[in-house]
Structure 1
Amino acid sequence: MAALSRTDLDRVLAAVDADLDASLARLFDFLRIPSISTDRAYAADCRRAGQWLADDLATLGLVAKLNDTPGHPIVTGTSSGGAERRVLFYGHYDVQPVDPLDLWDSPPFEPRIVENAEGVKRIVARGSSDDKGQVMTFVEACRAYISTIGRLPVDVAIVIEGEEESGSANIGPFLEAHKNELKTDLALVCDTGMWDAQTPAIILSLRGLMHDEFVVRCADRDLHSGYYGGAAANPLHVISKIIAGVHGPDGRITIPGFYDDVVEPSDHMRDSWAKLDLTTENFLGPVGLSHPIGEKDRLLIEMVSTRPTFEVNGMWGGYIGEGAKTVIPSIATAKITCRLVADQYPAHVRDCVRAYIRSKLPPDCTVEFLGGEGNRAVAVAHDNPLLAKAASALGEEWGAPAVTYGEGGSIPVVGQFKKVLGQDTLLVGFALDDDRIHSPNEKYDLTSFHKGIRSWVRILAALAE
């Protein structure tokens, strides 16, 4: 297949600009479908959203299919133009619930464009940023190629699931069952964000996750706090004391073995992160905080991306209703999550955490564990040549070098791509920190959508070289 000329690339980019209104109209049709995956009442809408996308991919000449699963269907679309390189693109068509509905300024599934005080135009609707708007940046880039030069510069396999917001229970088995047809040179995920509104980013690593729940039992029933107070063990006190001891005064986690297998970044990488100048003021300030509580000898960006964590997500026991009830509870529960980094194993971290908790139990108290599942962290090699191509393409479009760094969250499917398909993933997204994903009034800047399409046009051209 002949290489894409600069003239052809310019023609495709011009087509993106000329077709923007039609691209928005298609996105708005997609956004109007309330595909809330976690609520069974919306199962038919999830299927409708999947079918809408499959039909749209078919108009591009892709072999499109709505694949049934035990849950919501998975959409696939594949091309076979004989290109030298083949890429897999992943996204999701399901969205989060919209509650509380009364905090929305307009109905969440009636998309509209609003303009803020600075003149920035924004697409407002549930799913506009997470992840329908991001998915459609890639689809519209493919459309521009096919409508302009009649082909894609690389072959593609598109996989869009409908359960990302509710656990992705069926994507792993689906990849396993279709691994031969989905094997590509590289996976691309558009479910992340920019460094800021002017600076594109490629995420090179994602933290893994281990989540657990533990129940501490002391007395055989709730006790009168007057009769027994001062003598009987209180499981809420026990849990509180255990959790209070997890972090030392230097911010390090005190659990023996917790840091086993943690890979330290190179001095070069730490220097590059320092230049990004992620400060307490610009990171914690917007959420009303002013002091980072992580390890004292680490950069803030390390704390939230390349260092493991131990967090308490919930803790309860006894009476929590209105008014007073003077009891010492017999049972208390805590939910925890640990974000993991390369090369930590979830099972090893789980065992270390559980051993620590057991070692801190006082006499007369027992503990039961109810979780322990997890997934490993994933990372892309910094010297991957396809990374350099994608970064260069983003820099051309945005007029600023693409930032590469690790993100603190977890996207389990990226680990599945590595485990099942044996391929690396580049996470390239155009969301912004203020997009209010999962919250009322979710939005996606019009520039994110427009330049996101143009960015994929450039990336696909670069990957074809």
Structure 2
Amino acid sequence: MSNPQEAAIQYLHANHDKFVEELTEFSKIPSISTDPKYKEDMKKTADWVANQFRELHFSNVKIFPTDGHPVVYGEYLNAGKQAPTALIYGHYDVQPAEPIDKWDSPPFEPVVRGENIYARGVTDMKGQVLATIKAVKAIIKTGDMPVNVKFMIEGEEEIGSPNLAKFIKDHKDMLACDFALNPDTGMIAPNVPTITYALRGLAYFELKIYGPALDLHSGVYGGVVHNPAQALAELIAGMHDNNGKVTLPGFYDSVRPLDPEEREELSRSPMDENFYLERTGVKKLWGEKEYTPVERTGARPTLEINGMFSGFIGKGSKTVLPAFAMAKISCRLVPDQHPDEVHNQLIAYLKQNAPDTIRWEVSVLTGGEPSLSNRNSKWVKAYLKAAETSWGTRPIFKREGGSVPVVSDFQKILNVDSVNIGFATPDDNMHGPNEKLHLPTWFHGMDALVHFFYNLSE
């Protein structure tokens, strides 16, 4: 390890307590993007991030307005034109904290208990954003930055990043880079460094079923009027076969198959059947039996029912035949599927299977394309080496089941791949009560980032 690297690592270790204090300050701000009443808090959070850049004497620090919440940008290009340029992505918005009564401590009053810090957004993804900033700071404070870095931190990831693709297109020259660093994924376990090279896309729909003009008496009209709730249940039940395969026409036609080398790499993952049984509490796993659990959750597309509503669901009884039923349906997509194609496939399924006793309509709520990065790129190899230095073990390659739409935006608009990493662990309760960040893993992650930036210059 070179002396500058050693100095940067020592700087990180000497400032762990300070970094926790700053993360506490960052996480106190309720930057909830989905609720308009937090608009001023969103601005305050954007200012907080921009001030982090200003303290490091970044150039071109700006807070760009959008049709929603602002994007924070800053760059440090002192390594020169011959050095590679990394575009570092992050988001400062967080999920709502409800249900509040399920938290052991107030969600926006961060508290350290044992090796973890608890607060909403502390792992998704304020801790990840701060880790990248502090790794850069450690290098700047102890030597010269070996690569150029550009930070783009948005405030709308938790609501689907509706304005980010336009922002990237409008600022394509400013954002030009050799690759993107996306620390918005996670690790399989605290001591298992992980590189995510694929992310599933998303197609999210709302299906509405209409029956009679108004709710009816189930005794007077039951048996002659088709119940919309029943029709919805029948349609949903038919969307999978007995093996868990999705039955929408053509759903798998564009799916890129796994090659033997990739299946072998994925088999190194410790996320086996017992892993999922222990973390979910279910009695038995479900799904396509010819694929392993880790393949089914990352390399195969799915269709999930996220919610259903119809009729009377209050306390007591009300013998009603409802006029309306609805369901929220999300499909996770893999290369080379596209949200628009899946929308058409859902419509084709409904045309084939919906009875003529009801009326239906489908609306698209949000969507994003899947992404697949080159796991053999020099950027990935640089992080592979860095993580092994920090944790003392070779990282696991993973296909992520969730979606980060900006990664496919970077591929389409900037023509660059992303190195997808992160220091969240499966038990961090992202989006749920008692969200936490494991501090030793966070500190290891900062070390890995310092090694990564130095490896890029070799």
TM-score bracket, shorter-length normalisation:
over 0.9
Q: Compute the RMSD of aligned alpha carbons.
A: 1.6
1: distance between equivalents of 2:27 and 2:213? 53
Q: Indicate yes or no: 2:42 matched with 1:43.
A: no
Q: CA deviation at 1:152?
A: 1.1
Q: 13, 20, 25: which one pairs with 1:17?
A: 13
Matches within 5 A, 1:27-38: 27-38=23-34
Q: Distance in 1 between matches of 2:25 and 2:309?
A: 43
Which string of whole-angstrom CA distances, capped at 9 and with x for unpartnered residues, describes residues 87-118 of structure 1? 00011111222223233222322223211xxx
Whether the 8 Å contact between 1:92 and 1:162 is mirrored in structure 2 is: yes
- The residue number in structure 2 matching 1:139 is 133
Is 2:76 the counterpart of 1:79?
yes
Alignment partner of 2:188 out of 168, 171, 195: 195
- 2:161 counterpart (157, 160, 168): 168
Pairwise CA distance, 1:369 = 1.6
Per the TM alignment, residue 34 of structure 1 is displaced from its structure 2 partner at its CA by: 2.0
Q: Which residue of 1 aligns with 2:174?
A: 181
Give the CA deviation at 1:139: 0.4
Structure 1 stretch displaced more, 139-148 or 441-450: 441-450
Q: Which position in structure 1 is the counterpart of 2:234?
A: 241
2:258 paired with 1:265: yes
Partner of 1:321: 314
Equivalent position SS for 2:364: coil
Structure 2 counterparts to residues 23-422 of structure 1, below 5 A = 23-63=19-59, 64-81=61-78, 82=80, 83-115=82-114, 121-149=115-143, 151-371=144-364, 373-422=366-415
The CA deviation at 1:271 is 1.9
2:265, 2:397 within 8 Å by CA — same for their partners in 1?
A: no
Instruction: Give the superposition deviation at 1:372.
Output: 6.2
Residue type at the aligned position of 1:198 = N
Bigger Cα displacement from structure 2, 75-84 vs 198-207:
75-84
CA distance in 2, matches of 1:38, 1:69: 15
What SS does the corresponding residue of 1:38 show, helix, strand or coil? coil
How far 1:203 sits from its partner (Å)?
Answer: 0.5
Q: Which whole-Å CA distance do the structure 1 matches of 2:210 and 2:100 have between them?
A: 39
| Superposition deviation, residue 316 in structure 1 | 1.8
CA contact (8 A) 1:347 1:372 kept: no
- After superposition, the C-alpha distances for 1:234-259 in whole angstroms (9 at most, x for unaligned) are 12111111111111112212222110
- 2:302–2:332 contact (8 Å) kept in structure 1: yes
Query: TM-score normalised to the size of structure 2?
Result: 0.96
Separation in 2 of the partners of 1:429 and 1:376? 21
CA–CA distance in 2 between the matches of 1:335 and 1:27? 35
Q: Partners in 1 of 2:6 and 2:305 — Cα distance?
A: 51
| Letter aligned with residue 123 of structure 1 | I
The answer to whether the 8 Å contact 2:34/2:159 transfers is: yes
Structure 2 letter corresponding to 1:105: D
Q: Deviations over 1:219-274 (max 9, x none)?
A: 33333222222232112111111111111112212222110110011112112222
Distance 2:422 2:449 in 1: 10
Query: In the TM superposition, what is the alpha-carbon distance from 1:383 to its structure 2 partner?
Result: 2.5
Q: Which amino acid aligns with 2:223?
A: G
Once residues 142 and 458 of structure 1 are traced to their aligned partners in structure 2, the CA distance between those partners, rounded to angstroms, is: 11
C-alpha contact (below 8 Å) 1:281/1:290 kept by paired residues: no
Structure 1 segments unaligned to the other structure (5+ residues): 116-120
Amino acid at match of 1:152: M
Of 347-356 and 220-229, the range deviating more from structure 2: 220-229
3-state SS in 2 of match to 1:397: helix
Take 2:103 and 2:362, find their aligned partners in 1: how far apart are those partners?
Answer: 39
Once residues 249 and 108 of structure 2 are traced to their aligned partners in structure 1, the CA distance between those partners, rounded to angstroms, is: 49
CA drift of 1:404 comes to: 0.8
The superposition leaves residues 150-185 of structure 1 with CA deviations (integer Å, 9 ceiling, x where unpaired) of x21100110111121223222222111111010100
Change (3 A) 1:277 1:15: closer
TM-score (norm 1): 0.94
Aligned equivalents of 2:432 and 2:323: distance in 1? 36
State the Cα distance separating 1:373 from its structure 2 match.
Answer: 4.3
Q: What's the offset of the Cα at 1:9?
A: 1.1
For structure 2, the 5+ residue unaligned runs are none
Q: CA 1:108–1:251 in 2, change beyond 3 Å: closer, same or farther?
A: closer
Per-residue CA shift, 1:194-215, capped at 9, x if unaligned?
A: 1211110010001011111122
Q: Do 2:268 and 2:396's aligned partners in 1 also have CA atoms closer than 8 Å?
A: no
Residue in 2 that maps onto 1:118: none
Q: Which residue of 2 aligns with 1:435?
A: 428
Aligned-partner SS, 2:335: coil
Cα distance change, pair 347–49 in 1 and its aligned pair in 2 (3 A) = same
Secondary structure (helix, strand or coil) at the match of 1:316 reads strand
Asked if the contact 2:191/2:441 (under 8 Å) is kept, the reply is: no
Matched position secondary structure for 2:51: helix
Q: Is contact 1:203-1:405 (8 Å) kept?
A: yes
Number of residue pairs aligned between Structure 1 and Structure 2 = 455
Distance 1:112 1:226, change over 3 A: closer
After TM superposition, the runs of 4+ consecutive aligned structure 1 residues lying more than 4 A away are: none
